Amino acid sequence: TGVTVDSSAAAEEAAATMLAAGARNVIITLGERGTLFASAAGVEHIPARRVQAVDTTAAGDTFVGGF
């Protein structure tokens, strides 16, 4: 999208760009700040749960696999 995602507002901007390009649903993970879900129906920010992280290897892959 050309948008640097360094804040929730930037994530919303990137999601809007992807929706305008034809995506029906957009999910952007924001690490400890949670996840942003966007669709034509609107934008939802899902906060992350606080956990004691032991190893973050493959955290993104695990998120996508679980989703």
Among all residues, which ones are annotated catalytic? 61
Q: Under the phi-then-psi rule, with left for phi > 0, alpha for psi from -120 to 50, and beta for the rest, what region is 38? A: beta
